[in-house]
Amino acid sequence: MSEAGPSAPPGYTRLQVRDATVIARHDAVLGIQEALQETRTLHCWAATVPGAKAFQGRATAWGTTLPRGGPAVVVRHARHGGFFAAFTGDRFLWPGRAPWELEASERLRAAGVPTPAMVAYVLYPAGPGFCRCDVATARLPDGADFPQAWRDAAPTERESMLTATAALVRALGLVNAQHEDLNAKNVYLAREGRGYRAFALDVDRVRFLSAGDGRATALNLSRLLRSLRKHRERHGLAIGDAEFAQLERRALGRAADEAQP
């Protein structure tokens, strides 16, 4: 299986470490090699690094720094969500979604859409035709996903959070990128100057619509609003209809409407 599968794009190297297939950015190769010599998977290694920071999502991801002068990363173990989770768990048809995530991430970043750079992914054989996968992305500035950031923020800070989130939705729409899983926890908010910057996470769920198809902004906004309403109803997130309306106006480029009576 290791002889087939993804090739390394410019700026990346493909290598084998035992039975694992690695696609890594040039500055991460030595660190990935050392990590995989110490433990059987990159995610297991990250979880054991002293001082590693836990990030809670579908599963725990770990923030740390790769050895041998490598970059700061967040390492997650890829898992299915939704309907397939109960049947396939963390097993994917070879080579999984990571090659597409790398391609989508590079395309989005080149177009100016805020999303973390993909540093590496590692594929592990998991039976004939299947694999498991760890993904390492560049660690973002200190921040939190939208629900946690909203809870932690003072009321006076929340308008700038909505502004940043709307800007992210617009940026995705401008490149016809539909993020099929743009839920509230896949919007990461970090302080920038006096305001915030929003980043899109888990871009393996992005698909690029054809030129002239103007639905991306509306589809992304609808997905995000649905998730925010669910967080309000199920988890008590203190966000109201007025904030939803404000986010919608700004994402659709109608911020000027707020000045109208």
Summary mean pLDDT of the chain = 93
CA separation for the pair 126, 165 (Å, rounded): 38
CA separation for the pair 195, 224 (Å, rounded): 21
Q: Averaged in consecutive runs of 10 residues, what is the pLDDT profile of the chain (261 residues)?
A: 77 97 98 96 98 88 97 95 70 97 98 98 97 98 96 96 98 97 97 96 96 95 98 97 97 59 37
Q: Is 107 left (phi over 0), alpha (psi -120 to 50) or beta?
A: alpha
Indicate the SS3 state at residue 124: strand
Model-level pTM? 0.91
Q: Are strands 177-179 and 187-192 parallel, antiparallel or unpaired?
A: unpaired
Q: Is 252 left (phi over 0), alpha (psi -120 to 50) or beta?
A: alpha
124: β partners: 132
For residue range 42-98, list pLDDT tens digits in order: 999 999 999 999 998 778 999 999 999 999 999 999 998 766 666 778 999 999 999
Q: What pLDDT score was predicted for residue 84?
A: 62
Q: What pLDDT score was predicted for residue 257?
A: 43
Q: What pLDDT score was predicted for residue 58?
A: 72
